[in-house]
Structure 1
Amino acid sequence: MPPALTSGWSRVLQGERVLGEADSILKFVPYSDCKQGCSGMLYVTNFKLAFLTADRSSYDNTGKRNRSKILGDDDIPLTNIDSIYTVSLSGKRKKMTVDSKMPTTETLEVHCKDMRIVKYGFKFAPKDQNKKFVNTLIHHAFAKKDTLLFAYEYGRSNELKDRELICDCPMFDTIIDWEDELQRCKANKTWRVADVNMSFDMSQSLPRYFVVPTALMNNDIQKAASHFSDRRIPIWCYTHINGNSLLRMSAQDSDTDQPREVSRMLDAVKVASNQRNKPKIVKVEEKCPSCQEVQESFVKLRKICMSDTMQEFSNQDAVWNTSLENTRWLLLVSRCLAACNEVAEEVTGGKRTVVIQERTGWDLSCLVSSVSQVLLDPHYRTLAGFQGLVQKEWVRMGHPFQRYLSLVTVSEADTEQVPIFLLFLDCIWQLLIQYPAAFEFTETYLTTIWDSAYIGLFDTFLFNNDHQRYHFSRNEGKNIKQFKLPSVWKWDFQLGSEDFSFFKNPLYLITHDEELVSSLNELQVLSIQGMFCRSSRNNSFTTSLEQNRNHSQDARPERIDPLKKDLLVPNCSSLSIRLWTQCYLRWQSPAQILSGGTPTQYLQQCVMVEEIAQLHHKLKTLQLRESLFVEFRSKNDLIVSHQPNKSKISELLNSTALSSSFPFSPGPALKEKQFSFTPICSYIRNSSLDYDKYVDDDWTGTL
């Protein structure tokens, strides 16, 4: 491994090795028409494409922070590369494949799956490195089988201990996790965890453990399974407080009406739900778009969100609304939300359990089931609950991440993504915008999940199902130690504590923390008809409290149906569905709002919550002044808050430029003085709360 790379910004992982390198490469500044850039070395390893500048700024750990613990700002995981183009000396642009004849490259364009475009100039690179490097990159960027992925090498060579793999959310890979979920839903008396698929003999797309009615024996399940596509029988997902449940199943064989075994299974579901009527079957194909529609729409969306010159951006901007409408992406989001809302309303207001049916049972049914549960249950709006939901409904139920994320390209057809999981995250983002105080997490958390799916290192998104995961971890039956790959939910594997702070929603904290809610209620009582809160400089804060009035302690229970008090009802109209700009437009610098956008709103909310917490603590300190008891103030885990490790937070605030793409945009280089970015630290200094005085005067602890 070259010394510059091993001591560089990017953390070199176990099993990572350099496959090719090119010297005197120019990395061009986006939207500079290849007229601005910096010189350095370009490396391709079996994990990533890495660029290191010629000066020490790439590998000097002062004055700059890493993008993450495993990737630097100038690193691109090979699994994140969507396509590669070469521009010859004559200016001809060509998309490269493994079978392409390698021309002499003047400019290399790398199009990423997260909608970035990165350009490298090879004009000054040694001629013997030119073709060789490009050829090496193309051959390793598109793996033909999963054993060629870097995760295979990393899993075989790493020495991760069990404590380094433990997450705070259930993985649903054991009977205990499923039983705990049944108990949480108060459904453990009529539903049980079945182990009929322990060896994947029944179905390779189902997990080893899943939940079925207690009345069904393993023998009954095996008999009925043959009548369902891929043997995916009705499987329990969730039970509401009113006793109605939610299940998923695949389509029945077309040559059968409804055999006795299938009728008996549906009768068992009816009995488990303590109902007279048979379950209501909701067919996903009638409510939601097809996989092909999602794929085609995403291709169009990606095209309008991936300009790389000012001229191209200007041309797209002139017809932006029309182009966005033509993608039909927002319409797909609206249709999916409407279908989920229908399921949730049926569960809460109907008299029957709902069974979601889909031909495969692992595509859009994952989305409908999981979004419906987010609408129904506030537990899934927390960090741990949401992560457990993804594990339960996507990872364990066999959503083909490897295929749909195009991590392995066996054929030309595999190069196109089918981003159903992104569509799901977009639906959650729409709910987060409509109910800003109902979720513990932020849009930055959702965007980070999507980015993590393309790193190609996490067990969560690497496989198509548990059967593939099981055999992959055992090296296809060979007698070596089992592979160990981290879960994406083990956030400290790739992020620092200051990065994790961006995941915390300040509005959720202020509406769900008992002490802060109590303080707010007292302030509203003391004010005249709540005018103090209404005159707040943060209008979204007041709006969120009004929209989430049912979640506060001063709600009026007599007006609320107790079975619907936690239900979210999304507005699915086209006028209410918005484009998720942070996820889709963050790399388009001409579209960024300098010193503005939703990040300023987010930081304002953090400042307000910290100010309220500070005043609340000071009030308690004054009340206990004559007491011998000293109460230490707990931190709220927000990015702008009282933190024990103040030095790291200060470094972060001083090194990050604020724009509407915060915190994903790294900001301008120091040489680009013409860009007017405002550092976060300056923004905080001009707010009502002085960052240097977050710690109370009465604070007796040590920072």
Structure 2
Amino acid sequence: MPCLCSQSGVAKSVFDFSEDVGWNLQGLRLKVSGYKDIIYICPFNGALKGKVFITNYRLYFKSDGDHVVVLDVPLGAISRVEKMGGASSRGENSYGLDITCKDMRNLRFALKQEGHSRRDIFEILFRYAFPLSHGLQLFAFLSQEKFEENGWHVYKPMEEFRRQGLPTEKWRISFLNEDYKLCDTYPTILVVPFKATEDDLQKVATFRSRCRIPVLSWIHKDNQAVIVRCSQPLVGMSGKRNKDDERYLELIREANSTPKLTIFDARPNVNAVANKATGGGYEGDDAYQNAELVFLDIHNIHVMRESLKKLKDIVYPNVEEAHWLSSLESTHWLEHIKLVLSGAIQVADKVSSGSSVVVHCSDGWDRTAQLTSLAMLMLDSHYRTLRGFQVLLEKEWISFGHKFASRIGHGDKNHADQDRSPIFLQFIDCVWQMTKQFPTAFEFNERLLMVILDHLFSCRFGTFLYNCESVRDSNHLRLKTVSLWSLVNSDTSSYINPFYTEESSRVLYPVASMRHLELWVTYYIRWNPRIRQQQQSPVEQRYRELLALRDQYLKKLQELQLSDSSPSAHLSNSSASSAFLCHAAHHAPAHALLIHQHTHTHTHTHTHTHTHTHSLAHSHVRLQMFMYIR
């Protein structure tokens, strides 16, 4: 994960570069070999002279002197590179480069005007930060990283449908889109009403934007209510009707005898009406008589992009304390988070009460994905596990065609592209809000969410590349790149929430109130070292203390296991073990006291070697109560 931190013992020379910095990514190539005369204009520490390296994956800066500051920026996180100053610039540090990042940072480097250093660095940085604009491959296609697990096997559609209890007598699996001819932005395997024929599906596709027909995302195992996703109907200004589409939605309603089908249109009413002018629209009461239409008032990608831009302005580089609350309010970021969460709660509540729902926005790949995935997270505890969450992202976001390439701009120099928008970031923010309100309900921790966002930009993995499954297949993505889940699942301990408690039937209803929502400071303001130092919560501090205590106990246990096997040693070791466990109990009573009681009983009941070893084995079992902390 990219970082801005003090660090020593790195990059003694260009020849030691890969080894000392720990850059062992296979496929990484050094493009600028340690240019020395460069100054990083740090907003927190002032002008810092140092050395810069640029590879085909990252920009790396290390300052000179005793207080070392390190910048580590994946090139995929760079949105814009501009030259600062000209030949006539005379001010101090007024000649150099300005770099705008997608991860809330802006970087400024000053260079000497003599020679061609700025030109050389600019050209190399511009070329490798935006490879697709220069006929080059994204780094994910060059990387040859190896992991213990193949993350591309995380999501298997048929297995996930079977887990949900599908197919049923009301719902069937369709392979009509196997060659992407029905809808080129949908996955190949779809779940549709049992009574709907393949011919019906093709007719409905003509009346839905981008041919994104209503298909099942999730089914409630008890009441059989479903979440169905799609795009807007092509009603237009003339108010066109389509009998096939109307009958198809009636089949969805009948599947669990829902009195009325609820259609959640994510857009504000006025936007949905405006879409009629371009051939879109919404389901009218006359045509869909057994349906209730609800508008959720979530704004479009352009509004979200501007909101994030305002948020970035107030969090980086400096946070203005005097007007912080009013400045945050002016961004409307938390208001948008509230509306997305509120919409998902309404979806989850309807389904939980036995009513089937249809969810759409305009094209069904932005706000629709936010709503369906968040509602499924609330309803289904499986998606709140580490691997279940990966399945949720693969299913609702990646396979159903959220336009990651367009929204993020991977490898593209056109930073002003109007298709860019933080829709997925907004979703992850909503997930974070839920983890704050339900700290024991999620198996994964905040670190996972941040790693996902960092690699959303980095282009190190193939997971978030391209706009849809058909394009990924044509580019052989799974064969030529590594999945992010390969990294995550090869070191799951880094992403586990130590306070997780499994509750399989619990439905989560977060409070979508401005009083209960928070700015995700750990993510949005993480580059400010002053803010970061203030953010260590009591829970985090306790977590670190327990980690240290666990390590101490492991060490002591190893010493006992390796000690002399004589009877006197057994008594000595038992006493030492009891003394240590009493110490542990003092620091972590709920956990260590159980360990102490169990070990104390066994070590003093028996004295021979076999029983002492048995005691240590039992102690080791009880140690698992500490091990989960990791």
Distance 2:361 2:594 in 1: 52
RMSD: 3.5
* Superimposed CA distance per residue, residues 540-594 of structure 1 (whole angstroms, 9 cap, x where no aligned partner): xxxxxxxxxxx59xxxxxxxxxxxx612222112111111100101111232335
What's 1:112 paired with? 101
Distance 2:412 2:15 in 1: 33
What's 1:407 paired with? 410
Aligned residues of 1:26 and 1:120 also touching (Cα < 8 A): yes
Aligned residues of 2:60 and 2:70 also touching (Cα < 8 A): no
What's 2:154 paired with? 170
What's 2:219 paired with? 239
CA shift, 1:12, in A, is 4.6
What's 1:421 paired with? 424
CA shift, 1:5, in A, is 3.1
Change in Cα spacing, 1:601 to 1:586, as seen in structure 2 (3 Å) is farther
Distance 2:313 2:626 in 1: 35
1:262 corresponds to which of 239, 242, 245: 245
What's 1:24 paired with? 36
Distance 2:545 2:357 in 1: 42
Change in Cα spacing, 1:416 to 1:365, as seen in structure 2 (3 Å) is closer
CA shift, 1:374, in A, is 1.3
Aligned residues of 1:13 and 1:154 also touching (Cα < 8 A): no
Structure 1 residues 271-420: aligned runs within 5 Å: 271-272=254-255, 274-285=256-267, 286-287=295-296, 288-307=298-317, 313=318, 316-349=320-353, 351-409=354-412, 411=414, 413-414=416-417, 417-420=420-423
Distance 2:41 2:415 in 1: 31
CA shift, 1:483, in A, is 3.7
Distance 2:106 2:412 in 1: 21
Change in Cα spacing, 1:57 to 1:160, as seen in structure 2 (3 Å) is farther
Q: Does 1:221 align with 2:201?
A: yes
What's 1:78 paired with? 75
Distance 1:243 1:267 in 2: 15
- Aligned partner letter, 2:520: W
Query: Who wins on radius of gyration, i.e. which is larger?
Result: 2
Change in Cα spacing, 1:429 to 1:412, as seen in structure 2 (3 Å) is closer
CA shift, 1:410, in A, is 6.5
Distance 2:484 2:350 in 1: 33
What's 2:482 paired with? 486
Change in Cα spacing, 1:91 to 1:399, as seen in structure 2 (3 Å) is farther
Change in Cα spacing, 1:611 to 1:414, as seen in structure 2 (3 Å) is farther
Q: Does 1:201 align with 2:178?
A: no
Distance 1:639 1:111 in 2: 41
Q: Does 1:15 align with 2:27?
A: yes
* Superimposed CA distance per residue, residues 429-473 of structure 1 (whole angstroms, 9 cap, x where no aligned partner): 111111112112222221221112111122221111101111122
Percent identical? 26
Aligned residues of 1:266 and 1:278 also touching (Cα < 8 A): no
* Superimposed CA distance per residue, residues 37-75 of structure 1 (whole angstroms, 9 cap, x where no aligned partner): 3522x23222222335679999xxxxxxxxxxxxx9633
Aligned residues of 2:141 and 2:481 also touching (Cα < 8 A): no
1:506 corresponds to which of 498, 505, 529: 498
Aligned residues of 1:246 and 1:353 also touching (Cα < 8 A): yes
- Aligned partner letter, 1:200: Y
2:597 corresponds to which of 619, 629, 640: 619
What's 2:278 paired with? none
Distance 1:83 1:234 in 2: 38
1:248 corresponds to which of 225, 229, 235: 229
Distance 1:441 1:460 in 2: 19
1:577 corresponds to which of 517, 522, 532: 517
- Aligned partner letter, 1:25: D
Aligned residues of 2:32 and 2:54 also touching (Cα < 8 A): yes
Change in Cα spacing, 1:611 to 1:122, as seen in structure 2 (3 Å) is farther
What's 2:50 paired with? 39
CA shift, 1:387, in A, is 1.4
SS of residue matched to 1:460: coil
* Superimposed CA distance per residue, residues 650-675 of structure 1 (whole angstroms, 9 cap, x where no aligned partner): xxxxxxxxxxxxxxxxxxxxxxxxxx
Distance 1:637 1:171 in 2: 31
CA shift, 1:613, in A, is 3.7
- Aligned partner letter, 1:567: V
- Aligned partner letter, 2:594: H
Change in Cα spacing, 1:177 to 1:637, as seen in structure 2 (3 Å) is farther
CA shift, 1:364, in A, is 0.6
SS of residue matched to 2:35: strand
What's 1:590 paired with? 530
CA shift, 1:373, in A, is 1.1
Distance 1:266 1:228 in 2: 12
1:3 corresponds to which of 11, 15, 19: 15
CA shift, 1:127, in A, is 1.8
CA shift, 1:428, in A, is 1.1
Change in Cα spacing, 1:371 to 1:492, as seen in structure 2 (3 Å) is closer
SS of residue matched to 2:230: strand
Q: Does 1:51 align with 2:39?
A: no
Distance 1:396 1:131 in 2: 41
Aligned residues of 1:46 and 1:150 also touching (Cα < 8 A): no
Q: Does 1:600 align with 2:596?
A: no
Aligned residues between the structures: 538
Distance 1:345 1:197 in 2: 31
Q: Does 1:181 align with 2:163?
A: yes
Aligned residues of 1:330 and 1:578 also touching (Cα < 8 A): yes
Q: Single out whichever of 588-597 and 424-433 deviates more from structure 2.
A: 588-597
What's 1:528 paired with? none
* Superimposed CA distance per residue, residues 473-517 of structure 1 (whole angstroms, 9 cap, x where no aligned partner): 27xxxxxxx842121122258x8x4xx544222221xx44xxxxx
2:469 corresponds to which of 466, 471, 484: 466
What's 2:581 paired with? none
Change in Cα spacing, 1:425 to 1:639, as seen in structure 2 (3 Å) is farther
Aligned residues of 1:363 and 1:399 also touching (Cα < 8 A): yes
Aligned residues of 1:86 and 1:105 also touching (Cα < 8 A): no
Segments of structure 2 that go 5 or more residues without pairing to the other structure are 1-12, 268-294, 550-584
SS of residue matched to 1:83: strand
Distance 1:638 1:252 in 2: 55
Distance 2:194 2:386 in 1: 31
SS of residue matched to 1:441: coil
Change in Cα spacing, 1:383 to 1:178, as seen in structure 2 (3 Å) is closer
SS of residue matched to 2:186: coil
Distance 2:39 2:537 in 1: 28
Distance 1:485 1:252 in 2: 37
Structure 1 residues 138-177: aligned runs within 5 Å: 138-145=126-133, 148-151=136-139, 153-154=141-142, 158=144, 164-166=149-151, 170-172=154-156, 175-177=157-159
TM-score (norm 2): 0.76
